[in-house]
Amino acid sequence: MKLMRCREGAAVVRGGDAVLFSEVNAKRGTQLSDDLMELIRSGNLEPLRDLRGLAGVPLAQVTPVLPYLAPQKILCIGPNYKCQALEINPEHPEEPGSFLKPPSCLFDPEGDIVLPPPEVSADVDVECELGVIIGKRCRFVPAEHVSDVIFGYTTTLDLTALDVLGRSARYLTRAKSIDTFGSFGPVIVTPDEVQDIEALEVVTGVNGSICSRDFVRNMRHLPGELVRFHSDYFTLEPGDLISTGCPKAAPIKAGDTVQGRIDGVGTISARVTQGMRQPLY
């Protein structure tokens, strides 16, 4: 099943259209909430499985927004593709490197990446990554039960202020957490839709040109292992998002158009604009 949220409400993606939850409620007598987080917490997709006879809205006529607001944790993985890890450090550590981004960095899919004023950062890049969405509160998850705690997969964008990070590795959080330095969606795909997670190709493009592409099978730590590993260190909650890394980032500037694509999962795009220093109190 493919789920999304748009300004018109939550919906199931059916081919080239979106069947709004409000349509399901009207025709089936259900009480589905437009808050996809409620659906993730319940895990009950049964009311959405039979869409026969329900009207849909063409996807071109809806405006996508973030699938849900403010994940408790946005967990990002450092160099995780074999080619990138070897390029950065031939003697890379065996365990995955990870960091957290705040929900305040998120912007809506198809929205604007607002570059910070040049005195904050003048060197920014972007990565498309496969995102894993947690469906159940969990800790110390055995490898054989990882699939039980995954609600679905999505496409993410992760941005970095390279000049900030270049001053010190200790500045990683601020380099990754500037407003509009992250997004995900617009579609969440449930695991039954993904026949082979390792066969997925993750593609980052800028202005119609492909900047990087690689297959999930070439990750050093596969998505399920990332869930298992991190559950040893902290409790994962429904809606927590794990962004699994990118083979290579792409530099961006104001006026660019960014696109991330994972066939079988979804496409996410954004416009790049230049921000100004505007005090907010």
Task: Transcribe 15-44 into DSSP letters.
Answer: TTEEEEHHHHHHHH-----S-HHHHHHH--
Q: Where in the chain is the domain with CATH 3.90.850.10?
A: 74-274
Q: What is the pLDDT along the chain (281 residues), one digit of tens a residue?
A: 999 999 999 999 999 999 999 999 999 999 999 999 999 999 999 999 999 999 999 999 999 999 999 899 999 999 999 875 445 565 667 899 999 999 999 999 999 999 999 999 999 999 999 999 999 999 999 999 999 999 999 999 999 999 999 999 999 999 999 999 999 999 999 999 999 999 999 999 999 999 999 999 999 999 999 999 999 999 999 999 999 999 999 999 999 999 999 999 999 999 999 999 999 89
Q: What is the pLDDT of residue 133?
A: 98
Q: Is 243 in contact with 155 (CB distance < 8 Å)?
A: no
Domain 74-274 grouped into CATH 3.90.850.10? yes
* CA dihedral of residues 244, 16, 209, 273 (deg, nearest 10): -80
Q: What is the pLDDT of residue 84?
A: 56
* E-assigned strand segments in the chain: 2-6, 9-14, 17-20, 57-58, 64-65, 74-77, 98-101, 112-115, 124-134, 150-161, 182-184, 187-189, 201-206, 209-215, 241-243, 250-252, 257-262, 266-274
Let me know if 133 is exposed, middle or buried by CB neighbors in 10 A (0-12, 13-18, 19+).
Answer: buried
Q: Is 70 in contact with 103 (CB distance < 8 Å)?
A: yes
Whole-model pTM: value is: 0.95
Q: What is the pLDDT of residue 254?
A: 98
Q: Is 209 in contact with 192 (CB distance < 8 Å)?
A: no
Q: What is the pLDDT of residue 131?
A: 98
